[in-house]
Structure 1
Amino acid sequence: MKMIIAIVQDEDSQRVIATLMNEGYSVTKLATTGGFLRVGNTTMMIGVDDEKLDGALAIIENVCKSRKQIATSPSPVAGITGMYVPYPIEVTVGGATVFVLNVDQFKKM
């Protein structure tokens, strides 16, 4: 048995969860925050039998696509100490960070 820990952007989380559940996977959802833009993320824990691992990973990969987004990054104003002006930059967001762990024992109580 395997435990998938998938960290996805909130924007993708509902589609991932719905698709996984429609395919018969059980998903535990945890609300988390982090990353470069400090945006909301969802961490999912998915327990799967070894033979169902590839199917779950394929669903996560198909739903969680990377995309470009404009973000503002503070940049210092020349000659003025402590003064910053927002500067728009293009960043890649989305996708998923996935960990797959071996599970020695599983009990549902």
Structure 2
Amino acid sequence: MKLVLAIIQEKDASTLQAALNEQKITSTQLPTKGGFLKAKNTTFMIGIDEERVQEVLDIIKESCQAREQYVTPPINLAGSISDTSYPVEVQVGGATVMVLPMDSFFRF
């Protein structure tokens, strides 16, 4: 058994959940928050047999595409104007995925 942890952008969560449900893969979702953009994310926890890990990774990759977005950095309260006061283009979306060994898995 493996534990797949996938941190994705909140707007991709329903697409990923539907794709997992279609393949009869159960998951638990946790609301999380990113550090750099302080954007809402969703973390999926998926307990899965080792032979189905690649299937899960493929579903995540297909459901959670990276995209470009403009963000405005926080205002500098010191009063100085800097290059960071203008919107900058950053890559958002996609997924950060960790696959961990799992000694046991119980469903009661």
The TM-score, its normalising length taken from structure 1, stands at 0.89
Gaps of 5+ in 1: none
User: In structure 2, how many angstroms separate the alpha carbons of the residues matched to 1:99 and 1:69?
Assistant: 25
Instruction: Name the aligned partner's letter for residue 95 of structure 1.
Output: G
Give the alignment of 1:32-51 within 5 angstroms.
32-51=32-51
Identity %: 43
RMSD: 1.6
Which residue pairs with 1:82 in the alignment?
A: 78
State the secondary structure of the residue aligned to 1:73. Answer: coil
Larger radius of gyration: 1
The structure where strand makes up a greater share of residues is 1
Instruction: Name the aligned partner's letter for residue 67 of structure 1.
Output: R
Which residue pairs with 2:58 in the alignment?
A: 58
Contact kept? 1:75, 1:84, Cα under 8 Å: no
Paired residues in the alignment total 105
Give the CA deviation at 1:74. Answer: 4.1
Contact kept? 1:73, 1:88, Cα under 8 Å: yes
Instruction: Name the aligned partner's letter for residue 78 of structure 2.
Output: G
Runs (4+) of structure 1 exceeding 6 A deviation are none
User: In structure 1, how many angstroms separate the alpha carbons of the residues matched to 2:57 and 2:68?
Assistant: 23
State the secondary structure of the residue aligned to 2:86. Answer: strand
Give the CA deviation at 1:35. Answer: 3.0
Contact kept? 1:7, 1:96, Cα under 8 Å: yes
User: In structure 1, how many angstroms separate the alpha carbons of the residues matched to 2:55 and 2:42?
Assistant: 20
Gaps of 5+ in 2: none
